[in-house]
Amino acid sequence: MMIIIKMSDYLDPNNEELLKDFYVEAEMQIDLFEQNILVLENNSENMDAVDEIFRAAHTLKGASATVQMNELADFTHIVEDVLDEIRGGKIKVLPSVVDVLLEAIDLIKEMLRLRAEGQVYEEDISEITDSLKDLLGGQGIQESETEIPASKTENNKESAVSDKSGLSEHEILELLETAEDGEKVYEIKVIFNEDHPMNSIGGIQVFAGLKGSGVVLKTIPDFEELYEDIFHLEIVYYLATSQNVDQISSKLNIPGVVTDSSITLLKSFPMGGTQSDSVVDDRAPEIVEKPKQEKAPEASDEKPDVSGEKDKKIRKSKSTGSVLRVDSRRIDNLLNLVSETVITKATLNQIGNDFSEVEVNLNEQDRRYKESLKNLIESLPEYIEKAQDGHTIKEVKAEINERFAELFTIFDSSQGKLKSTIVKFRSTSQNLARTTSELQEGVMQIRMVPISQIFSRFPRLVRDASKSLEKKIKLKIVGEETELDKSVIEDLLDPLIHCVRNSVDHGIEIPEDRLKAGKAAEGLVTLRARNEGSMIIIDIEDDGKGIDVETVRAKAVDRGIIHPNKVLSDVEAFNLIFEAGFSTASQVSNISGRGVGLDVVKRKIEKLNGNVNVWSEPGKGSRLTIKIPLTLAIIQALLVRIGSEIYAIPITSVIDSHRIKPSDIKMIDGYEVINVREDVISLIRLNRLFNIPTESSGEYNFVVIVGSGDKKMGLMVDSLIGEEDVVIKPLRDRYTSSPGVAGATILGDGIVALIIDVNQLLDLGLKQEIENRRRRSASIM
Amino acid sequence: MKTKMDFPSINERKPDGQGDGGQAYKVLIVDDSMFVKKQISQILTSEGFEVVGTAGDGLEGLEKYKELYPDVDFVTMDITMPKMDGISSLEKILEFDKEAKVIMVSALGKQDLVKKALMIGAKNYIVKPLDRVKVLERVLQSIK
């Protein structure tokens, strides 16, 4: 069977959107595929899983063929065949089958990855296709032969048909008798196009068409045979109908499927002569139709180079942005909020109008007020005269009251109006605040995706890793519905993979050791996600041998990471494993010990404004805890003041804050330090770092203790302002190189505040410390 | 001076997706693959068809059809879908409206199902991977 691919103009190279959709969908299908294979591995009877896998492979094949990723389509097609056999129960799901399928999915992933990068997979895949085909051949004895016998049967059929391309007289009479009054019986010969995809359908398609216009009395070959998946070049239908030839021939005009057809009226031959080819020839004048030849063959001829060229074009236009699938309810919710905002806007407009109305009234009243006042003052001498003329004070007072009573009430109406407008304004602004925060949350929600998107990769990873290490490991996933920002999730995958590999490789012991230690032979790795405020916490826990504090210490000293005299708490020792160039595994394995240690994990997590901690109990196991904010766009920050400037410190790295007197600051080695409980913490004066002139500080200074893991540092500031959600705006160009600044934010009153990059500051401090130590040891020698 | 008559403009061709009165044929697309859905709708809308609805599975397709009826001229129906497959959906749609024009969309290798669908009363079928010319040809043929 030949797949004909024609260039279609809807798939122009600029159709990025379609390609983007393709990648999104392909990834989903692959995930589905992989997950269900693992399900199948544990329970080979699970037919739902088989169906799912089959559907996934099927969809993938169709989609990749459409975007002309032929290598992918062809390969997936073979996989689909195998899956179909599994579905039909012809292939049993043995471990070897699972292995081959997993291998296949890896290959598919690789092909997709290359395509996404604009390349085409060109390696030899015959090994895997052979093993897939072996499955088809080995277990499914019957099916492996389909193709050859199919063509054989076809040949047989053809010869059979041509042997008796007509019917015996008796048969014709029989057919004619079956026809009702007024109906004629036609012999319809149809030649089908073998090159059409699914070429075996044509027979039925024509049958279904004819069925609509009359009764199909007989077909050659038989109807049952038409239903089988075998291609028949020529099929003869005998149709009893009252319709005319034109009407019938319109049913046969199926471009691409039918290449030729002829309709002849069937008559009985009283002479009883021979009914073979000659009879048909005699009726030649009645041949009504010879539809155009299908152009498919040429199209397929030019396929290779054209599609190759097209491929290149498509590759260039590979998707740049990423696609987000969002639950439509979330969008609806947003729309609701937006409409509320629009209403609020209208109300605010109204309030604005009210205010200007009040202003106009006030101006008017003000004018009147001043005029009356002027009149009053001007009339004063007149009243004084009146009083002197013998009018009693009481009389004069009454007169003044009468004339200028308006002065008391002149502003009343405006006052009332102003009051009610202000009340309205307050409530509207409250509404606005509520909707805005809901909108903010709603938009964040849109970017939220369940962490299962990356957790779903781990069953496979653990399975493969444990297999290659000959360990027995079970993976438990908890809280996979926990959601976090898409941009975070993308950057989280690598560190998580690293951590899990670490647990599998270094944490879990081999079964013998576990049994010796009195544990179950099967190790358990738990991947757990949960929310805590605006943070998400991910634990990677194993019940393996745990971290040996002494080994870690010794190694750290050996590598020069810590000073031999340094006293370390257990927690500090555990955290040493995050230092660069640290690996406690004595041997390098291909799973996790590849020279990159957990320091990479730490760096990546810190990039996400998060932190990593480790806890361990020797013999019981260890746990890595990753804590990251749900989103990167908005963070909670502690606002502090330095001189006239306001800085924001991400709350996730703030440990606590203290008020100190200048006398609390002690000097060690030329560094300013303070004692906080048991700890000695070095200080950085932010005003010096950022070069901000400050007045000699008053009685007290404020120190914000920041840190991640075991590293802590005190930042000295002038005053603390408070906690607030701030929107991070990245700083562009020349500002980005400023040490210790992660970005900027605009505060409610429009002031720009810089956000402090705590990790950079810590590194800065650490560098100084190491530098100093080197200097010191150099001077001793 | 040359008149318009000398240069028959290609723009004067009526888009295939419009009936004689110029009104657009209305189509309901039923497919569980968002990707295929988009493709079909791109192909059809480019020729002036109007996509009046889409559905992600057979059951939804059936409900949509009932909802849209009679303002729907034909349906493209995927065969392999979750919940209710295309064949059952086709059956149900035909039960509801025996004049319904349903065109099956099938991947290679589903011969038996396509045959079944045609026998039940599907008007035609389209094979994935979709080809613009083929799709339009089949659709137009089925709605005439």
pLDDT digits (tens, 9 = 90+) for A531-567: 877 778 899 998 888 887 787 777 777 777 777 777 7
- Sign (positive or negative) of CA dihedral A589, A594, A599, A601: negative
With both helix axes pointing from N to C terminus, report the angle between A47-66 and A16-42 in degrees, rounded to the nearest 10. 160
Q: At A664, which CATH number?
A: 2.40.50.180
Are residue A481 and residue A421 in the same domain, yes or no? no
Q: Do A371 and A407 share a domain, yes or no?
A: yes
- State how beta strands A258-265 and A448-450 pair: unpaired
In Å, how far is B103's CA from the nearest CA of chain A? 12
CATH of the domain at A176: 3.30.70.1110
| CB pair distance less than 8 Å for B42 and A10 | yes
Indicate whether A313 belongs to any domain.
Answer: no
Q: Minimum mean pLDDT among A184-198, A299-313, A720-734, B10-24: which range?
A: A299-313
Question: Alpha helices of B69-110 — where are they, by DSSP H?
Answer: 86-96
C-alpha span between B132 and A573 (Å, rounded): 65
Contact (Cβ atoms closer than 8 angstroms) between residue A708 and residue A720? no
Three-state DSSP class for B126?
Answer: strand
CA distance A600 to chain B (A): 37
Residues A665 and A615 in one domain: no
Q: By the CB < 8 Å criterion, does B23 face chain A?
A: no
Whether residue A441 is found in the same domain as residue A457: no
Phi, psi (degrees; rounded to nearest 5) at A148: -65, -55
Radius of gyration of chain A (CA): 42
Q: Do residue A512 and residue A525 come from a single domain?
A: yes
A487 lies in the same domain as A623: yes
Q: Shortest CA distance to A524 belongs to which of A506, A507, A499?
A: A507
Q: How far is B2 from chain A (nearest CA, A)?
A: 33
- Residue whose C-alpha is closest to residue B39's, from A12, A195, A109, A319: A12
> Where is the domain boundary, A391, A426, A447?
A447
| Domain boundary, last residue among A274, A295, A316 | A295
Q: At residue A209, what is the residue type?
A: G
Per residue in A593-627, pLDDT (tens digit) is 444 467 778 888 887 778 888 888 888 888 888 88
CATH number of the domain to which A30 belongs: 1.20.120.160
Calpha distance A375→A377 (Å, rounded): 5
Res A126 pLDDT > 60:
yes
* pLDDT at residue B20, as a whole number: 65
| A609 lies in the same domain as A756 | no
The residue with greater pLDDT, A121 or A738, is: A121
Mean residue pLDDT of chain A comes to 76
Distances (CA, A) of A374 to A370, A381, A604: 6, 12, 76
**B119–A59 CB contact, under 8 Å:** no
Residue A66 Rama label (left phi>0; alpha psi -120 to 50; beta): alpha
Query: Does residue A504 contact residue A473 with C-beta atoms inside 8 Å?
Result: yes
In chain A, DSSP finds a helix count (H) and a strand count (E) of 27, 22
Does B109 sit within 8 Å of A18, measured CB to CB? Answer: no
Residue B108: which of A21, A55, A198 has the nearest Cβ? A198
Instruction: Find the domain containing A161 and state its range.
Output: 148-295
- B interface mutation test: which of A2, A198, A294, A295 has the most B CBs within 10 A? A198
Q: Mean of the pLDDT values across residues A723-739?
A: 71
A458, A589: one domain: yes
Tens digit of each residue's pLDDT (9 = 90 or more) over A311-329: 443 333 333 456 677 778 8
Q: How many domains is chain A built from? A: 5
Query: In angstroms, how far is CA A635 from the centroid of its own chain?
Result: 22
Query: Does residue B41 sit at the A interface (CB-CB below 8 Å)?
Result: no
Tell me which residue of A205, A386, A666 sits closest to B118, measured CA to CA: A205
- DSSP code at position A729: B
Task: Kindly state the average pLDDT of the residues B82-105.
Answer: 89
**A58 → closest Cβ in B80, B111, B134:** B80
Give a yes or no: residue A104 inside a domain: yes
Give the chain B residue nearest A66 (alpha carbons): B129
Give the pLDDT score at A581: 63
Residue A423 has pLDDT above 90, yes or no: yes
* Minimal Cβ distance to B130: which of A3, A58, A66: A66
Q: DSSP letters of A269-335?
A: -TT----SHHHHHHTGGG----PPPP-HHHHHHTHHHHHHHHHHHHHHT---S------HHHHHHHH
Asked if pLDDT for residue A353 goes beyond 90, the answer is yes
Rg (CA), chain B: 16
The SS3 of residue A213 is: coil
The answer as to whether A766 is a domain residue is: yes
Q: Which residues of B103-134 are buried (b: 16+ CB within 10 A; e: fewer)?
A: bbbbbbbbbebbbbbbeebbbbbbbbbbbbbb
Q: Which residue has the tokens 């969002």?
A: A326
Q: Please give the DSSP secondary-structure letter assigned to residue A164.
A: T
Q: Is the peptide bond before B70 cis (omega within 30 degrees of 0)?
A: yes
Q: Which of B16, B18, B37 is nearest to B28 (CA)?
A: B37
pLDDT at position B143 = 79
Average the pLDDT over A334-344 and give the result: 90
In angstroms, rounded to a whole number, what is the distance separating the alpha carbons of residues A484 and A558?
Answer: 40
Q: Does B98 touch chain A (CB under 8 A)?
A: no
Does the residue A83 lie in any domain? yes
Listed residues A629, A644, A662: the one ending a domain: A629
In contact, B66 and B53? CB cutoff 8 Å: no
Residue A649: Cβ within 10 Å count: 25
A67 and A318 Cβ atoms separated by less than 8 Å: no
Q: Report the distance separating Cα A565 and Cα A567, nearest Å.
A: 6
Yes or no: say if A176 and A268 are a contact pair by the CB < 8 Å rule: yes
Residue A302: per-residue pLDDT: 40
All structural domains of chain B, each given as residue ranges with its CATH number in brackets, are 23-143 (3.40.50.2300)
| CA separation for the pair A707, A293 (Å, rounded) | 78
Residue by residue, DSSP assigns A499-530 as HHHHIIIIISPPHHHHHHTTS-SSEEEEEEEE
* H-assigned helices in A559-679: 570-575, 598-607
Q: Judge whether A165 lies within some domain.
A: yes
Find chain B residues with C-beta within 8 A of A59's C-beta: 32-33, 80
**Do the Cβ atoms of A8 and B131 come within 8 Å?**
yes
Residue A680 located in a structural domain: yes
- Residue B25 DSSP one-character state: P
Cα of first residue to Cα of last residue in chain B, in angstroms, is 40
Same domain, A603 and A659: no
Q: Which residue of A has its CA nearest to B45?
A: A10
Determine the 3-state secondary structure of A749 from DSSP: coil
Do A276 and A196 lie in one domain? The reply is yes
How high is the pLDDT of residue A350? Answer: 92
Higher-pLDDT residue of B16 and A723 is A723
Contacts of A340 (CB under 8 A, 6+ apart): A431, A435
- Calpha distance A699→A705 (Å, rounded): 19
Does A421 map to a domain?
Answer: yes
Tell me: do A755 and A645 sit in the same domain.
Answer: yes
Q: Do the domain assignments include residue A304? A: no
What phi, psi does A747 have (nearest 5°)?
-85, 170
β-strands A184-192, A234-241 pairing: antiparallel
Residue A374: exposure state from Cβ atoms within 10 A (0-12, 13-18, ≥19): exposed
Q: Which residue of B104, B108, B113, B142 is the best one to mutate when testing the A interface, meaning the one whose CB has the most A CBs within 10 A?
A: B108
Nearest residue of chain A to residue B41 (CA atoms) = A10
Interface membership of B94 toward A (CB under 8 Å): no
Q: Give residue A615's identity as a one-letter amino acid code.
A: W
The answer on A139 and A155 residing in a single domain is no
**Distances, alpha carbon A93 to alpha carbons A87, A129, A145, A641, in Å:** 10, 18, 21, 67
Within 13 Å, how many C-alpha atoms sit on residue A773's CB side?
12
- Least confident range from A158-172, A232-246, A735-749: namely A158-172
Is residue A265 within 8 Å of residue A249, measured between CB atoms?
Answer: no
**Weakest-pLDDT range from A355-359, A395-399, A411-415:** A395-399
Whole-structure pTM value: 0.48
Question: Choosing among A1, A2, A59, A78, which should be mutated to test the B contact, i.e. which has the most B CBs within 10 A?
Answer: A59
pLDDT band at residue A146 using 50, 70 and 90 as cut-offs: very low
Decide if pLDDT at A368 tops 60. yes
In a 3-state reduction of DSSP, which class is residue B95?
A: helix
Q: What is the CATH number of the domain that holds A545?
A: 3.30.565.10
List, for residues A431-445, the tens digit of each pLDDT value.
898 888 888 878 877
Query: What does residue A273 show for φ and ψ, rounded to 5 degrees?
Result: -70, 180
In this complex, do A10 and B43 lie within 8 Å of one another by their Cβ atoms?
A: yes
